[in-house]
Amino acid sequence: MDFRLERLKQYEGVRGPLLLVILDGMGLYRGRAEGYPGNAIDLAQPANLYRLLKTEKIVTKLKAHGTAVGMPSDADQGNSEVGHNAIGAGRVFSQGARLVDEALASGRLFEGAVWQELIRNAVRKGTPVHFIGLVSDGNVHSHLRHLLALITECDKSGVEEVYVHGLLDGRDVPPLSALRYFGELEDALWALRVKGMKDGKRRRYFVASGGGRMVTTMDRYEADWRIVERGYHAHVMGEGPLFPDSLTAIRVLRAQTQQEDQYLPHWVVEDPERPGKPVGEIFDDHQVVMFNFRGDRAIEISRAFVEKEFKGFVRRRWPQVLYAGMMEYDGDTHMPPRYLVDPPAIERTISEYLAHNNVTQFALSETQKYGHVTYFWNGNNSMKFNEALETWVEIPSDKVPFDQAPGMKAREIAAETIKALRGGKYKFLRINFANGDMVGHTGSLVAAVEAVKVVDEALGQLIACIDEVGGTLVVTADHGNCEQMYAVDKKTGAPIQGPGGSYEPLTSHTLNPVPFIIHGPDTARYELNTAVKEPGLANIAATLLNLLGFEKPADYYDSLICIR
């Protein structure tokens, strides 16, 4: 493969080092309500960031979610993994739901080694396949059509027992819509049971347990392990109130609790052949598939099934199962070890091109985001392209809750970067400040404000050093988070007030754009490329190549700048 890059005719490239700073989780709030009180960035008043935004010639906003990072629709949030994939690759690759859709449509999922192992074990040993996940068509965490496709393939392959442990949505879909989705699921399972009877084949295909997603199984960021614990024991041991089927459970629990779907308590389905017993417990040698494709609320339940040294809660039974996720939910910890759909095959990243064109590179972050400036940046590749030209540095993260130490390792990252800049060895440097994302996820506005202040302090030091060494600085982010710490009403844009008058915290990523700024001695020669109508993260790679004096590869997204 030819990795040679053509040189720009009109520009030799920046004279000093080129430093890319990724402010993880620091987007630009675009809510409609004036005086929004949950913007940690505005509350922090970051002098250095604001000075760049107000005074630099090259300043724009980039799309960092949805189709701009390979997600199915623009209602889908971005995340650090797909964000760094897009920045490093210079192109958009299918992610999440779109990737699963393609794997199912092509048959690639069912031809894969993990699926084949699951089915082979189930058929040979006569043991069940269990599916755990969110039952809806919200397409944020899962999609019902994916589940039905997996179940149908189990039937075709001769699997005798299938049990679904379904979580109720009501968050990415209407709040009282579970009967629609579980009705479709129950109909599909019933049809397969009847078909099996007609064909003389045993088919025990049932919904086995469930509960609202906000109180059962789908915790994230270790906010409340009790959510995972109650779901785990409902799924594994059949612990919970017994109902004849999922539809009855939903109707009765709605009446009893007056709660929306996402908050309904957990429940278990009674075995029609064994009164008083759960229909689908999980034991040794069973197969378990988490069919959610989004990782944040799938990681903890995966750990509960997979980890030997597990400390989230006391597992009253830990069956030795063959466990697989729909996808790899955490690329840094490789959780879970088995998954049905491979990450996108990303080749020819900017780092690979630079390595083949003799450009020295430096990558740095703390542990929380180290994989994002290395593994994800390099297209889900954990190896360097040229050991002699590339240096990767990891600063160990503190093992304390992020809201208790919101500065994280920002100061240390700045100090190490300044050392590398002054050393003069590296032409291109990339670093990530994790604070805006990791502290933003805690829901603590006070901590998020402090996090922004510390990051801005570090940014100011880097600006001073870049000016000192005659370099060029590019500042951006991979997605939004801490700029919107309170949930807002989708119709009015006003922050939502919870019980007691306090605002409802928002701990997720946002759909807001992120900044893109260039600071350096040659900015008078740069103009924003107006031909790029909807700029996104994937446009950054070509821009960096232009700044280094290279033409972009033909299939890279266009540069954000034109150079005179």
What secondary structure does DSSP assign to 9-26, as a single string? SS----SS-EEEEEETT-
pLDDT band at 505 (very low <50, low <70, confident <90, very high): confident
Q: In this predicted structure, what is the pLDDT of residue 88?
A: 98
Q: Is residue 339 part of a domain?
A: no
Q: In this predicted structure, what is the pLDDT of residue 158?
A: 98
- Report the C-alpha gap between 417 and 419 in whole angstroms: 5
Q: Is residue 315 part of a domain?
A: yes
Q: Pick the residue with more confidence: 240 or 400? A: 240
- Report the C-alpha gap between 408 and 222 in whole angstroms: 18
Question: Is the pLDDT assigned to residue 332 strictly greater than 90?
Answer: no
Question: Is the pLDDT assigned to residue 344 strictly greater than 60?
Answer: yes
Q: How far is CA 236 from the centre of its chain?
A: 27
Q: In this predicted structure, what is the pLDDT of residue 109?
A: 97
pLDDT digits (tens, 9 = 90+) for 140-151: 789 999 999 999
Q: Are residues 354 and 465 in the same domain?
A: yes
Q: Pick the residue with more confidence: 512 or 399? A: 512
Which token pair is 421?
A: 């800049």
Q: Are residues 318 and 386 in the same domain?
A: no
DSSP conformation class of 396 = P
Count of the separate structural domains present in the chain: 2
- Report the C-alpha gap between 455 and 49 in whole angstroms: 9
Q: Are residues 79 and 109 in the same domain?
A: no
pLDDT band at 222 (very low <50, low <70, confident <90, very high): confident
Question: Is the pLDDT assigned to residue 345 strictly greater than 90?
Answer: no
Q: In this predicted structure, what is the pLDDT of residue 67?
A: 92
Torsion sign, CA atoms 419, 422, 428, 430: positive
Contact by Cβ (8 Å): 238, 299: no
- Report the C-alpha gap between 478 and 516 in whole angstroms: 10
Which residues participate in catalysis according to the annotation?
80
Torsion sign, CA atoms 163, 121, 298, 155: negative
pLDDT band at 382 (very low <50, low <70, confident <90, very high): confident
Edge-to-edge strand list for the sheet holding 129-134: 242-243, 267-269, 204-212, 161-168, 129-134, 287-290, 322-325
Q: Angle between the 47-55 and 445-469 helix axes, to the nearest 10 degrees?
A: 60
Q: What is the mean pLDDT of residues 222-229?
A: 90
DSSP per-residue string spanning 62-74? EB-SGGGGT-SST
Q: Where does a domain end: 325, 355, 375?
A: 325
- Report the C-alpha gap between 370 and 354 in whole angstroms: 20
Q: Are residues 391 and 448 in the same domain?
A: yes
- Tokens 């542990």, located at residue: 367
Strand partners, 167: 134, 211
Q: In this predicted structure, what is the pLDDT of residue 376?
A: 86
Q: What is the mean pLDDT of residues 539-557?
A: 98
Domain range for 152: 97-325
Q: Are residues 357 and 274 in the same domain?
A: no
Question: Is the pLDDT assigned to residue 489 strictly greater than 60?
Answer: yes
Which token pair is 309?
A: 């040294």
pLDDT digits (tens, 9 = 90+) for 262-302: 999 999 999 999 999 999 999 999 999 999 998 878 999 99
- Report the C-alpha gap between 14 and 58 in whole angstroms: 15
Which token pair is 167?
A: 């979580």
Smallest CA-to-CA distance from 391 within 367, 415, 362 is with 362
Which token pair is 512?
A: 């807001």
Q: Pick the residue with more confidence: 542 or 173? A: 542
Q: Pick the residue with more confidence: 222 or 547? A: 547
Question: Is the pLDDT assigned to residue 31 strictly greater than 80?
Answer: no
Q: Is residue 382 part of a domain?
A: yes
Q: Is residue 331 part of a domain?
A: no
Q: Pick the residue with more confidence: 74 or 465? A: 465
Which token pair is 27?
A: 């987007």
Q: In this predicted structure, what is the pLDDT of residue 49?
A: 98
Q: Are residues 301 and 354 in the same domain?
A: no
pLDDT band at 94 (very low <50, low <70, confident <90, very high): confident
Give the SS3 label for residue 313.
coil
Q: Which amino acid is present at 71?
A: M
Q: How far is CA 400 from CA 23, 231, 407, 419, in A?
A: 21, 26, 12, 27
**Phi, psi (rounded to 5 degrees) for 365:** -165, 175
Question: Is the pLDDT assigned to residue 343 strictly greater than 80?
Answer: no
- Strands, DSSP E only, in 270-314? 287-290
Q: Are residues 383 and 293 in the same domain?
A: no
Q: Is residue 7 part of a domain?
A: no
- Cβ neighbours for 450, distance < 8 A, ≥ 6 positions apart: 44, 406, 407, 439
Q: Find the CATH number of the domain harbouring 494.
A: 3.40.720.10
User: Mean pLDDT of all residues in the chain?
Assistant: 94
Q: Find the CATH number of the domain harbouring 106.
A: 3.40.1450.10
pLDDT band at 32 (very low <50, low <70, confident <90, very high): low
Q: Are residues 89 and 105 in the same domain?
A: no
Q: In this predicted structure, what is the pLDDT of residue 48?
A: 98
Question: Is the pLDDT assigned to residue 331 strictly greater than 80?
Answer: no
Strand partners, 11: none
Q: Is residue 334 part of a domain?
A: no
**Phi, psi (rounded to 5 degrees) for 563:** -115, 130
Q: Where does a domain end: 296, 325, 354?
A: 325
pLDDT digits (tens, 9 = 90+) for 36-76: 999 999 999 999 999 999 999 999 999 999 999 988 788 88
Q: In this predicted structure, what is the pLDDT of residue 490?
A: 79
- Report the C-alpha gap between 186 and 203 in whole angstroms: 14
Q: How far is CA 308 from CA 257, 299, 302, 311, 415, in A?
A: 36, 15, 12, 9, 38
Strand partners, 430: 20, 363
Q: Are strands 514-519 and 526-528 parallel, antiparallel or unpaired?
A: unpaired
Q: What is the mean pLDDT of residues 30-36?
A: 73
**Phi, psi (rounded to 5 degrees) for 287:** -110, 135
Q: In this predicted structure, what is the pLDDT of residue 221?
A: 61
pTM comes to 0.76
Lowest mean pLDDT among 108-112, 361-365, 493-497, 534-538: 493-497
pLDDT digits (tens, 9 = 90+) for 109-167: 999 999 999 999 999 999 999 999 999 998 878 999 999 999 999 999 999 999 999 99
Q: Where does a domain end: 325, 356, 373?
A: 325
- Report the C-alpha gap between 377 and 429 in whole angstroms: 13
Question: Is the pLDDT assigned to residue 472 strictly greater than 80?
Answer: yes
Helix, strand, coil percentages for the chain (3-state, nearest 5): 35, 20, 45
Strand partners, 134: 167
- Report the C-alpha gap between 434 and 407 in whole angstroms: 9
Q: In this predicted structure, what is the pLDDT of residue 33?
A: 60
Compute and round to an integer the Cα radius of gyration of the chain. Answer: 25
Q: Which long-range contacts (CB under 8 A, 24 or more apart) does 495-499 make?
A: 495/33, 495/36, 495/37, 495/38
- Report the C-alpha gap between 49 and 560 in whole angstroms: 20
Q: Are residues 192 and 88 in the same domain?
A: no
Smallest CA-to-CA distance from 82 within 95, 72, 91, 67 is with 95
What percent of the chain has a predicted confidence (pLDDT) above 90? 81
Q: Which residues of 107-137 are buried (b: 16+ CB within 10 A; e: fewer)?
A: eebbebebbeebbebbeeeebbbbbbbbbbb
Q: Is residue 4 part of a domain?
A: no
Q: Are residues 66 and 176 in the same domain?
A: no
Q: Is residue 475 part of a domain?
A: yes
Question: Is the pLDDT assigned to residue 239 strictly greater than 80?
Answer: yes
Q: Are residues 382 and 519 in the same domain?
A: yes
pLDDT band at 202 (very low <50, low <70, confident <90, very high): very high
Contact by Cβ (8 Å): 223, 215: no
- Report the C-alpha gap between 561 and 543 in whole angstroms: 6
Contact by Cβ (8 Å): 6, 549: no
Q: Are residues 273 and 383 in the same domain?
A: no
Smallest CA-to-CA distance from 507 within 358, 300, 297 is with 297
Q: In this predicted structure, what is the pLDDT of residue 487?
A: 86
Smallest CA-to-CA distance from 537 within 59, 94, 70 is with 70
